[in-house]
């Protein structure tokens, strides 16, 4: 058996233990698996997963941003350290809020183009400037700005290679962002982001209860159950294996 076949067999065994059949969305397997290949649904008389997946911690009925931080997002220290650094550097609360959620797409949803995904997730609930800044940190991170002491991250050389060149859309969006009146808000995410990886510092989410309270319009019905344009994305994070 190849590594992939072994992984698939293990996964099959795992899903056999569940009361319901789980079929992963294409996005979770594409790349590892050619999405054009037919998907075989195990025919074992079980129903399909249509809501909460018992392998995950259960979310409250009306989940808040903090519930997503605690129960659905992967490592969140990076974002919280960035937010704390922004505070320490005297940034305004919009920047602190933006830093706090700037990488939620990586932590809980989709990695590629994470700035765009994160912006869309929070857009209905934060100030336009906050969402805008999150969207464009994605592109601005690749371009230095000496006026604020921001250099091209050394980590990117390590991650992408010394000769990596961004795609034209990143260049276009960075150029657009540079001309925008909110440029500095987005740039400050990059500035506070860069030095935020410190394994010895431990930040607690409670530190930001007030910042979130003032800058994030938590929907009464719970994130995912309001009628906002991104509610479905929050629902998918809550129920990632829902069949339809």
Q: How far is the CB of 83 from Fe ion (least distance, A)?
A: 11
Greatest Cα pair distance in the chain: 64
Query: Rule CB under 5 A: is residue 123 a binding residue for Fe ion?
Result: no
Nearer to Fe ion, 106 or 231 (CB): 106
Minimum distance between the CB of residue 170 and Fe ion, rounded to whole angstroms?
Answer: 13
**Of residues 84 and 241, the one with the C-beta less far from Fe ion:** 84
For the CB of residue 52, give the shortest distance to Fe ion in the complex, in Å: 29
Judged by beta carbon, residue 103 or residue 127, the one nearer Fe ion is 103
Crossing angle of the two packed helices 128-140 and 114-122, in degrees rounded to 10 = 180
Total residues in contact with Fe ion, by rule CB under 5 A: 2
Q: Taking contact as CB under 5 A, which single stretch among the options 65-73, 90-98, 166-174, 191-199 is the one that binds Fe ion?
A: 191-199
In the list 94, 139, 193, 223, the residue contacting Fe ion (rule: CB under 5 A) is: 193
Stretch 97-116 residues interacting with Fe ion (CB under 5 A):
103
Handedness of CA 98, 80, 27, 22 (dihedral sign): negative
Please name the residue ranges forming H helices in the chain: 3-17, 26-29, 65-71, 77-88, 93-101, 104-108, 114-122, 128-140, 154-160, 168-178, 183-194, 209-215, 231-238
| Residues 71 and 193: beta-carbon distance below 8 Å | no
Q: Tell me, rounded to whole angstroms, the distance of Cα 159 from its chain centroid.
A: 19
Least distance to Fe ion, CB of residue 209, Å: 21
Does residue 124 contact residue 117 with C-beta atoms inside 8 Å?
no
The whole-angstrom separation of Cα 4 and Cα 21 is 20
Quote the CA–CA distance of 91 and 86 in Å, as a whole number. 5
Closer Cβ to Fe ion, 21 or 189, answer by number:
189
CB-nearer residue toward Fe ion: 59 or 136: 136
Smallest gap, in angstroms, from Cβ of residue 81 to Fe ion?
9
Least Cβ distance, residue 90 to Fe ion (angstroms)? 20
Residues near Fe ion (CB under 5 A): 103, 193
């Amino acid at each position: 058996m190849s590594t992939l076949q072994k992984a698939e067999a293990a996964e099959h065994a795992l899903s056999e233990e569940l009361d319901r059949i789980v079929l992963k969305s294409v996005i979770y397997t594409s790349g590892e698996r050619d999405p054009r290949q037919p998907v075989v649904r195990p025919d074992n008389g079980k129903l399909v997963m249509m809501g909460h997946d018992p392998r995950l911690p259960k979310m409250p009925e009306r989940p808040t941003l903090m519930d997503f931080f605690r129960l659905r997002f992967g490592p969140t220290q990076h974002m919280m350290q960035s937010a704390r650094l922004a505070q320490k550097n005297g940034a305004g609360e919009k920047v602190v809020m933006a830093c706090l959620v700037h990488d939620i797409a990586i932590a809980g949803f989709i990695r590629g183009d994470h700035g765009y995904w994160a912006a869309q997730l929070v857009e209905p609930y934060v100030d336009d400037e906050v969402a805008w800044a999150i969207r464009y940190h994605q592109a601005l991170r690749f371009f230095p700005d000496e006026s604020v002491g921001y250099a091209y991250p050394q980590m990117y050389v390590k991650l992408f290679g010394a000769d990596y060149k961004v795609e034209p859309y990143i260049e276009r969006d960075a150029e657009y962002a540079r001309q925008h009146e909110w440029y500095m808000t987005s740039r400050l995410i990059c500035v506070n982001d860069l030095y935020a990886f410190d394994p010895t510092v431990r930040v607690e989410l409670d530190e930001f209860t007030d910042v979130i309270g003032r800058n994030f319009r938590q929907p009464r019905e719970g994130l995912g159950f309001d009628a906002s344009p991104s509610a479905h994305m929050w629902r998918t994070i809550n129920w990632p294996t829902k069949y339809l």
